[in-house]
A = this chain, B = another copy of it.
Amino acid sequence: MSNNSAIGVFDSGIGGLTVVKSIVESMPQENIIYFGDTAHVPYGTRSKRQILHYVLSDVKFLNTFDLKAVVIACNTADSVARQAVEDAYPDLPVFGVVDPASRLAAAQTRNKKIGVIATKATVESGAYEKAIAAYDSEVDVLSAACPLLVPLVENGRFQVGDIVIETVVREYLDPLLAEGIDTLVLGCTHYPLLQDVITHLYPDLNVISSSDAAAAKLLGTLIREGLCNEEPGSDRKYFVSDDAEGVDKLARVFMREDLGGTFRQVDVE
């Protein structure tokens, strides 16, 4: 069995490309439609009401394509609007980032103390606490909203030795480490780029990328249901809601050069 319908992936901006990167690494033959809502980025500092409104527009656009799955790559969108998406599109297989990362973290922690770093909206939603408790009710979850990490990453500040990013990461993470966490979930699409900095500062910490976890879950499901694409010649289409000019350059940072396409502007509202 083979299915060459596309996988739709959306995010508030282009950080969701870390999920595309993870998908491409494990499923290079899949066709992908990516949409980044750059006219409204960031979601993580906005209200639930506003996020719901934007997310439903995003899915409505993706749903104009022939899809076999939609991936909510944005932790904020997944935390706040997942249920609304499933209610609005009951026939669409929806994948998120929070559940796969929570499952992995609950399985890997040894002392049952997990840290989660994410946007303000994700932390306030309590989505990670709820998802992790569903896998192991005895785990303590310590969450920290890290509003400076997205702008710092988007401005290229993710190098080991950069005093700016290292100071800010320490301020966010030291209190979680002081509480004894042994596992940390990177609960935002931008944070996988900080993996080197975090591992440099905290070499014993077990770090889980929600982007990798999401791709692994998607792959498992497609294999199990016989929905992988086995035809050659995969295609990737990239869209943004604000102007596409200059987006490719930043996009390559998240895709580590392997973009395999170019961004186009589209109005979705």
Q: Which residues of B contact A243 (CB under 8 A)?
A: 47, 49-50
* Residue A1 at the chain B interface, CB threshold 8 Å: no
* Residue A167 at the chain B interface, CB threshold 8 Å: yes
* Residue A64 at the chain B interface, CB threshold 8 Å: no
Which of B39, B47, B148, B164 lies in contact with A155, CB distance below 8 A?
B148
* Residue A134 at the chain B interface, CB threshold 8 Å: no
Count of residues in A whose CB is under 8 Å from the partner chain = 21
CA distance A164 to B162 in the complex (A): 10
Q: Which residues of B contact A168 (CB under 8 A)?
A: 164
CA distance A147 to B168 in the complex (A): 17
CA distance A47 to B38 in the complex (A): 10
Please give 17 more A-B residue pairs, beta carbons under 8 A apart, in addition to A49-B243, A148-B157, A163-B163. A39-B40, A39-B46, A40-B40, A46-B242, A47-B242, A47-B243, A50-B242, A50-B243, A147-B154, A147-B155, A148-B151, A148-B152, A148-B155, A151-B151, A164-B164, A164-B167, A164-B168
